[in-house]
Structure 1
Amino acid sequence: MSLEWKKYIDDPRQVCKYGGKCYQKNPVHHQSFKHPPNLNKGRVSPRFQPYMRKQKVAHDSFHSKDKEADMIPEQSKRKDDEVGSSTSELKVDNEKFPKDHVPVLPENITFLDVSKDNSVLKDLFLVEMPTDFFKFYEMLGDSLSAIEKSLSSVNLEMIGPFDLLLGKLPKLDNKSLYLIHWRFFYDPPEFQAVLKRKGKSEFHIGYYRDNPDQQPVFVASSDSAKDCHITPISDNLFGAVYQYLQKEKKSSPFVSIACEKLMEKIKKAASDNGYSLEEYNMKKRWAVAVTKTFHGAGIVVPVEKKTQVGYRHLVEKDGKIKQLFTQLENAQSDSDRDRILSELQPVITYANIAVDECDFGTGLELGIDLFCSGLKVLEGNTVCSLTSAYSLLKRDAFAKIIEVHMKYRRRGSNMSILNW
């Protein structure tokens, strides 16, 4: 082995997704990713100006035999929802997964000791929980039965990181599986569910973070059975549940009294601890968010004021991209799918060019939009866009979460890791 190759192998940086065909010139890219030796010797990049001839690129980029990592993969002859009867696949919750996409759980399940240690929670879920998370738990009671009874009376249950406090979090050999414990189909890495409506409902409430190393910016709700939309509710968990109860008490006379009782309890605890019960002010959000994204909660990335480097809009409007996603979902033949994907390809390529020029927010927006499509055919591009954007934005925990989520992504109302 040559010294150059040994140096390359020992380099701890992430491998560039383009490998030996990397066309990128940006120094920030080359500082963040490693490339094989002799990368730039005697090579003329055909993709440095990829859209000088739009029609040719739109066709060649999708049908070329020598596809690169950022290209949408060729379509399988089978439709997304058609799965063969191979013994290498297992059926879970009416879906079929290859064996390596089904988590391996211990034969005899045991549970972690009850803990309120934030360092333990961060080790398991890669983020620290805010103070209101623990205060809310303490408010509900001093026993598991009291806590569960209080929430059950208003059609709620604790999930996710609360399971460690409840003694319900299983011991797992593969620690990455904690990242998908109660992670619903449309939950991006920024959103972490902590409560859900009882039963088969997919309505859930959780914390939304722009950065895994920072405190949540608001508490929001989502219902994966309906769509990918994330609705900010309040600044904290007390306010979010209070707002939920105000609506829930109107739904049925059987829960109205229980809602009123818990609302009074929340009001007192919030006052004692200095938490607001008001709805989240979206004006604060749009003052810092660079774009809404398809889930509607927006994304925040650093943007240099003078040069505006950090984010630029996608090359197509949201309406057009959504239209392409709908057409792709309803395509009846491979030729239709190929045609639609070729229309989508310039959006992906232009976003990659933007990332090369340090507009990392564009790559994040594209990745989130692809994620929100929920389409299997776009999973590879989703992972590629998001892991690259998160890495460049120094949000490595989110990159890890999306990798694990996309590998084990599934639909359903019971997203406990034990429900496989």
Structure 2
Amino acid sequence: MSNEWKEYVSDPRTICKYGAKCYQKNPDHHKSYKHPPNLKAKGKDRQRTRFTPYDKKPFKADSEDVKPQSQDAILDSVTNDDTCAEKLSDSTPSPNNSKEANRLIEDNHDNYYGKETNNNIYKECFQVEMPDDFFKFYECLNEESSSIEHLMASVNLEMIGPFDLLLGKLPKLDNKDLYLVHWRFFYDVPEFQAVLKKKGKSELHIGYFRDNPNDKPVFLAKNDSSKDCIITPVAENIFAAVYWFLQNEKSSSPFMSIACQKLSEKVKKWGESNGYKVEEYEKKSRIKIQICKTFHGAGIVVPYNKKTQIGYRKLVESNANIKKMFQKLEEASGEAEKSKVLSEIQPLITYSSIALDECDFGTGLEAGMALFCSGIQELQSSATSLLSSSYTLLKREEFAKIIQVHMKHRRKGPDVALWGNKIQ
């Protein structure tokens, strides 16, 4: 990494939204915001992959045929200093960036993991172990059909994320951090890990939700990242979650009705025969244990001493006021107006940081979640800082790792696999 680039990365100032193309000549602007060094691109003939973290328009390939790259070229596309500079300088949303690649690597590896059932491998790749129902569901599918993916596709479902390990589709990478953003959607907090997705361009996905990375999942939930950040609990196990999906999906189209009904009957039978109840999650049980609701709606659970009242305190602003400030920031035009709104949000960040210092870790976590769920680029750095500190103090270091990598490679759209869209 060049000295210029090292200085840029270590600079604590906010990244200018215009990047290398900034037209501002005001000295105060350059004091407040950092700009990437002007590095000349190398290896122009090399096929590069770039992504725009806040681009609302997902990448669409011009052709399904992708030219193969060597292993060195793949790693270069992720780690090359000049490529990184280009990524950051072009990371501002623009209507002209609709063709930006949403993939982080090209899927041209010769070396893949086998069909792994060893939970140590899942922990190594995804920072968490997978529960028994995850493996049992795959086992039932495997007994039913020689082509599991086609069976699921027949009911508009796609197996994603950790399922790629069971399917033998996960390439071995030197940079294992990238696995943490494999099928991690824009609003997926570290507690939420997607394992199923509605096929096609839909961003509706289902995943396991854990309060602690070392504990078993509390429930499976759904989110549609094309709409909002809301995480809605649907079931306690994956059999019930798939059954829920099929019951809803069969009414979407008469062509899907028969296939969905047929598979839902089998899923119910498989679940009950293996001791898993096929019923919806009882949300009241969640409300009893959560310390607060949070912007994503699934709540958080942290240690809290009622006698000493240590562990959590309410945020300095109500959720309604916070939402209003976020809306004002999104609608702000010009640097002066944005700076004014950011100064209004700053007390929320400051007092949450003070709460962390005074052992109210839940407050820092709640505030960090709010900033994360806003999806606003100017709040990304503060969200990362609050969440990383909160998770570390709560001894949930795995979640701290996930949020740091996610914020570095945060992407919008339905195609958030490492290598882009894998839908057949």
TM-score range, shorter chain: 0.7 to 0.9
What amino acid is aligned across from residue 252 of structure 2 in structure 1?
S
Partner of 1:162: 163
Partner of 2:184: 183
Alignment of structure 1 residues 391-402 onto 2, 5 Å:
391-402=392-403
Q: Alpha carbons of 1:81 and 1:233: their partners in 2 closer, same or farther (altered >3 Å)?
A: farther
User: Equivalent residue of 2:344, what SS?
Assistant: helix
> TM-score, normalized by length of structure 1?
0.78
Deviations 1:321-358 (A, max 9, x none): 01111111111111110110111011111111111111
In 2: Cα distance, 1:282 partner to 1:148 partner? 31
Asked whether the equivalents of residues 183 and 418 of structure 2 are also in contact (C-alpha less than 8 Å), the reply is: yes
In 1: Cα distance, 2:249 partner to 2:240 partner? 14
Asked whether the equivalents of residues 77 and 334 of structure 1 are also in contact (C-alpha less than 8 Å), the reply is: no
Partner of 1:312: 313
1:114 deviates by: 1.6
94-103 vs 201-210, greater mean Cα deviation:
94-103
Report whether the alignment pairs 1:150 with 2:151.
yes
In 2: Cα distance, 1:396 partner to 1:122 partner? 13
User: Equivalent residue of 1:308, what SS?
Assistant: coil
Deviations 1:55-105 (A, max 9, x none): xxxxxxxxxxxxx97xxx557374999899977797735668745779567
User: Equivalent residue of 2:220, what SS?
Assistant: strand
In 2: Cα distance, 1:79 partner to 1:328 partner? 20
Q: Alpha carbons of 1:143 and 1:272: their partners in 2 closer, same or farther (altered >3 Å)?
A: closer
Asked whether the equivalents of residues 16 and 22 of structure 2 are also in contact (C-alpha less than 8 Å), the reply is: no
In 1: Cα distance, 2:22 partner to 2:210 partner? 36
Asked whether the equivalents of residues 106 and 173 of structure 1 are also in contact (C-alpha less than 8 Å), the reply is: no
User: Equivalent residue of 1:123, what SS?
Assistant: helix
Deviations 1:366-414 (A, max 9, x none): 1111110111111110110001000000000000000100011111111
Report whether the alignment pairs 1:220 with 2:178.
no
227-236 vs 116-125, greater mean Cα deviation:
116-125
The size of the alignment, in residue pairs, is: 350
In 1: Cα distance, 2:164 partner to 2:15 partner? 40
In 1: Cα distance, 2:17 partner to 2:50 partner? 23
What amino acid is aligned across from residue 361 of structure 1 in structure 2?
G
What amino acid is aligned across from residue 375 of structure 1 in structure 2?
I
Partner of 1:129: 130
Asked whether the equivalents of residues 80 and 376 of structure 1 are also in contact (C-alpha less than 8 Å), the reply is: no
What amino acid is aligned across from residue 223 of structure 1 in structure 2?
D
Q: Alpha carbons of 1:324 and 1:214: their partners in 2 closer, same or farther (altered >3 Å)?
A: same
1:110 deviates by: 3.0
Report whether the alignment pairs 1:92 with 2:12.
no
1:305 deviates by: 2.2
Asked whether the equivalents of residues 50 and 104 of structure 2 are also in contact (C-alpha less than 8 Å), the reply is: no
Asked whether the equivalents of residues 354 and 362 of structure 1 are also in contact (C-alpha less than 8 Å), the reply is: yes
Q: How well do the aligned residues superpose, as a CA RMSD in angstroms?
A: 2.7
Report whether the alignment pairs 1:255 with 2:256.
yes
In 2: Cα distance, 1:94 partner to 1:383 partner? 18
Partner of 1:76: 16
In 2: Cα distance, 1:172 partner to 1:262 partner? 35
In 2: Cα distance, 1:234 partner to 1:93 partner? 34
What amino acid is aligned across from residue 187 of structure 1 in structure 2?
D
User: Equivalent residue of 1:167, what SS?
Assistant: coil
1:113 deviates by: 1.5
Asked whether the equivalents of residues 270 and 277 of structure 1 are also in contact (C-alpha less than 8 Å), the reply is: yes
Partner of 1:337: 338
User: Equivalent residue of 2:147, what SS?
Assistant: helix
Report whether the alignment pairs 1:367 with 2:368.
yes
1:275 deviates by: 0.8
1:317 deviates by: 0.4
User: Equivalent residue of 1:417, what SS?
Assistant: coil
Q: Alpha carbons of 1:143 and 1:116: their partners in 2 closer, same or farther (altered >3 Å)?
A: farther
Structure 2 gaps, min length 5: 1-10, 24-34, 42-47, 56-83, 89-102
Partner of 1:411: 412
1:419 deviates by: 2.1
In 2: Cα distance, 1:98 partner to 1:143 partner? 49
Asked whether the equivalents of residues 144 and 166 of structure 1 are also in contact (C-alpha less than 8 Å), the reply is: no
Report whether the alignment pairs 1:264 with 2:265.
yes
191-200 vs 273-282, greater mean Cα deviation:
273-282
> TM-score, normalized by length of structure 2?
0.77
Based on CA coordinates, which of the two structures has the bigger radius of gyration? 1
What amino acid is aligned across from residue 356 of structure 1 in structure 2?
D
In 2: Cα distance, 1:391 partner to 1:170 partner? 29
Asked whether the equivalents of residues 88 and 99 of structure 1 are also in contact (C-alpha less than 8 Å), the reply is: no
What amino acid is aligned across from residue 195 of structure 1 in structure 2?
L
In 1: Cα distance, 2:86 partner to 2:174 partner? 17
In 1: Cα distance, 2:107 partner to 2:197 partner? 26
In 2: Cα distance, 1:219 partner to 1:230 partner? 10
Q: Alpha carbons of 1:263 and 1:77: their partners in 2 closer, same or farther (altered >3 Å)?
A: closer
User: Equivalent residue of 2:239, what SS?
Assistant: helix
